[in-house]
Amino acid sequence: MNALTFTLRRPPQQRVDLALLSCQRIAGLSTAEINAIELQCGKRRLRVDELFELSGSNNREIVFRNSCDKLDRIGHELDGGEITVEGDAGAYCGLGMKSGSIRVRGSAGIFAACEMHDGMLQIEGAAGDFLGGALPGNKRGMQGGMVIVKGSAGDRLGDQMRRGMVLVEGNVGDYCGSRMIAGTIAVMGTTGYSPGYSMNRGTLLLWRTPKLIATFADCGTHTSSSFLPLLFRSWRSLNSRFAEPKAAFSRIHRYQGDLSALGKGEILVKS
């Protein structure tokens, strides 16, 4: 069976909510039934076939072709299956994802992987603010799974993140790991202002020396001969620069904080 392919006829003028097109939502539906699903587009409701040309029939493998940054909530609460976005994804991509995988060939908007539970989200371009974070007003961000960003990511990456891993090959914005509860964020590029701001637990693994706020304690350098090799080996099968042996290191400078919060988090900087 070929992948179920939604080819966008033309970029919509308003934002479109694609939460209803996750694999588990359309499982068992015929092509006609899928075409008849009504999607919220601005204040209007549009049938799927008004927006997309549909082909293929494998509901466990979905492709959004000609995608653009107005397509929100792709892979909403995805629970198994694969989604490929050929182009950009809008906001909330992978929101509340439970399992399966999403691959965005372009960039993703704000709140990608927000409150994600498990699975894999791979973004080949850049990611917006609050990647892996919590929805406004909620207290728990990403709670499991893996996010890989090949480009850069915005501010507040991993805000209130609880578990899981976010790997960013490029740069990240301000307050990376803010209010982090636990989990791991690795950044190969630069970090903006105040990484780890108000983090309780969790690990920021950085390739470049950050500008730290005063509430992180300098714990000096050491060689992590077991933990970091274990971590890097777990990334070996990824389609990412993080998988390359030359990316791995074990000599680190450790900072613990944020001491103005619980203070059990850590920033490990390649040394």
Q: Which residues bind another protein (CB under 8 A)?
A: 144, 163, 182, 184, 201, 203, 222-227, 229-231, 233-234, 264, 266
Q: Quick one: 58 or 271, whose CB is closer to another protein?
A: 271
Smallest separation, CB 124 to another protein (Å): 23
Q: Quick one: 42 or 229, whose CB is closer to another protein?
A: 229
In angstroms, rounded to a whole number, what is the distance separating the alpha carbons of residues 50 and 36? Answer: 9
Q: Quick one: 171 or 184, whose CB is closer to another protein?
A: 184
> DSSP string covering 67-91, please?
E-TTEE-TTTT-EEEEEEEEE-B-T
Find the farthest-apart pair of alpha carbons in the chain and give their distance in angstroms, rounded. 63
Reading the block at residue 136, the tokens are 């406004």
When computed from its CA atoms, the radius of gyration of the chain, rounded to whole angstroms, is 19
Q: Quick one: 46 or 219, whose CB is closer to another protein?
A: 219
Smallest separation, CB 226 to another protein (Å): 4
Contact by Cβ (8 Å): 253, 246: no
Smallest separation, CB 268 to another protein (Å): 11
Q: Quick one: 62 or 120, whose CB is closer to another protein?
A: 120
Smallest separation, CB 146 to another protein (Å): 10
Contact by Cβ (8 Å): 236, 216: no
Residue type at position 61: E
Closest CA to 195 of 222, 185, 107: 185
Smallest separation, CB 104 to another protein (Å): 23
Give Cβ neighbours of residue 186 (< 8 Å, ≥ 6 apart): 165, 166, 167, 168, 204, 205, 206, 242
Instruction: Assign residue 147 a region (left: φ > 0; alpha: ψ between -120 and 50; beta: otherwise).
Output: beta
Smallest separation, CB 196 to another protein (Å): 14
Q: In a 3-state reduction of DSSP, which class is residue 247? A: helix
Q: Quick one: 24 or 224, whose CB is closer to another protein?
A: 224
In angstroms, rounded to a whole number, what is the distance separating the alpha carbons of residues 191 and 12? Answer: 34
